Amino acid sequence: MTELHGALRLTYRDDIALMEMIRPKQYNPLSNDLKAAFDEALRTLEKRADLKGVILTGSDGVFSAGGDLKAMHADHQAGTYGGAEDYLTRIRQGHAWLRILRNLPVPVIAAVDGAAVGAGLALALACDLVLITERSKFGAPFCKVGLAPDFGLMYALPRTVGLQRAREMFYTGRTIDAEEAIRIGIGLEIVPHASLMDRAWDMARQMAQSSSAAFSLTKQISAQAMESDAETLLRMEQQAHAILLASRYNAEAAERFTNKEPLRFNFT
């Protein structure tokens, strides 16, 4: 089943959803219509109890070039925004759906072909796993256009590549190619561009066989691993295990293991 949300196409295959940005000729800028489409699509996804995975990508070899500079210029010329308060309202609206994307209790895979720059990089890093191709390029050139990193990138990039490397990317705005992206941790693996979506679907389908409760709790706790102390994380681990040891999924897995039967979830 396919739904069209303006600049975003949402396709369901069983219990996995594909979100595809479909303005490749414009490099999928994070324009007002794309932001509205993300808001609508993600609010739909967060209500689906049967959801087991999400793939985020862009069509025709383009992920996203980030902010829409042409629209920014038009807004400046037209005096669309009267002051900082107007901009804050717009930014908060974007952050609302970004939080949904980041906190979905299922595996979210970014399949990045081509450029993921600025807010496009932030979108990719809001996902759990980032698959890239030999054509992928990344950058955070905010300072080049008189802006500071936004859309959660101040949080995500330092935690991905380390503070010093993140600052270097912020300060210089230089382009990171696929090989360097793997080396510094932005990408999980390089996939030939012709095979990118097959790999993304395969990973999503395999992960859909995992325990939904175990994955949700693991995602929730690991998201706090970089800022919580050891004792806090131990308490969260205790609570998670108390819940999961009582689950049917764990009981079945233990029985299969004891009987030397293959587990339902065996990622390859």
Q: Is 124 exposed, middle or buried (0-12, 13-18, 19+ CB in 10 A)?
A: buried
Token pair 């609302």 is found at 96
Whether 86 has a pLDDT exceeding 70, the answer reads no
Average pLDDT of span 75-82: 57
| Mean pLDDT computed over 151-165 | 95
- Count CA atoms closer than 13 A to 138's CA, side-chain side: 29
The last residue of one of the domains, among 207, 227, 248, is 207
Q: Is residue 199 part of a domain?
A: yes
Are 12 and 126 within one domain? yes
Q: Are residues 75 and 134 in the same domain?
A: yes
Q: What is the per-residue pLDDT for 80? A: 58
User: How does pLDDT run across 109-131, given as a tens digit for each residue?
Assistant: 999 999 999 999 999 999 999 99
For residue 166, give the nearest of 130, 123, 122 by alpha carbon: 122
pTM, two decimals, is: 0.90
- Please report whether residue 244 resides in a domain: yes
DSSP-assigned letter for residue 127: S
Whether 165 and 226 map to the same domain: the answer is no
Residues 15 and 78 in one domain: yes
Q: Does residue 8 carry a pLDDT above 60?
A: yes
Residue 72: pLDDT band (50, 70, 90) is low
69 pLDDT higher than 60: no
Report pLDDT for 130. 98
Mark whether 149 and 230 lie in a shared domain. Answer: no
Per residue in 175-186, pLDDT tens? 999 999 999 999
Domain annotation covers residue 122: yes
Number of domains in the chain: 2
* Mean pLDDT score across all residues of the chain: 89
Question: Does one domain contain both 193 and 247?
Answer: no
Residues 167-175 have a mean pLDDT of 96
Q: Establish if 169 belongs to a structural domain.
A: yes
Using the 3D structure, point to which of 207, 227, 245 is the last residue of a domain. Answer: 207
241 and 196 share a domain?
no
What pLDDT was estimated at residue 2?
A: 82
Query: What is the reported pLDDT for 134?
Result: 97
CATH number, domain of 59, equals 3.90.226.10
pLDDT value of position 83: 61
Average pLDDT over residues 133-142: 95
Residue 242 lies in a domain: yes
| Beta-bridge partner residues of 117 | 139
Reading the block at residue 52, the tokens are: 């087991």
Q: Are residues 156 and 176 in the same domain?
A: yes
pLDDT at 189 over 90: yes
Which pLDDT score is estimated for 173? 94
Instruction: Assess whether 103 and 153 both reside in one domain.
Output: yes
Indicate the pLDDT class of residue 4, thresholds 50, 70 and 90. confident
6 assigned to some structural domain: yes
Query: Residue 60 CB: number of other CB atoms within 10 A?
Result: 12
Asked whether residue 48 carries a pLDDT value surpassing 80, the answer given is: yes
Same domain, residue pair 120 and 250: no
Query: Are 191 and 239 part of one and the same domain?
Result: no
What one-character DSSP code corresponds to residue 143?
Answer: G
Mean pLDDT of 32-56: 93
For residue 116, is it within any domain? yes
| Residue 78: per-residue pLDDT | 59
Asked if residue 65 and residue 28 are part of one domain, the reply reads: yes
41 Cβ contact list (under 8 Å, min separation 6): 3, 5, 8, 10, 19
Per-residue model confidence as pLDDT tens digits over 208-237: 999 999 999 999 999 999 889 999 999 999
Does 183 fall in a domain? yes
**Non-local CB neighbours of 168 within 8 Å, separated by 6+ positions:** none
pLDDT score of 265:
84
Q: What residue numbers bound the domain in which 158 lies?
A: 2-207
Q: What is the DSSP letter of 8?
A: E
Q: How far apart are CA 37 and CA 212, in angstroms?
A: 27
Q: In sequence order, which residues have a C-beta less than 8 Å from that of residue 99 and are 6 or more positions away?
A: none
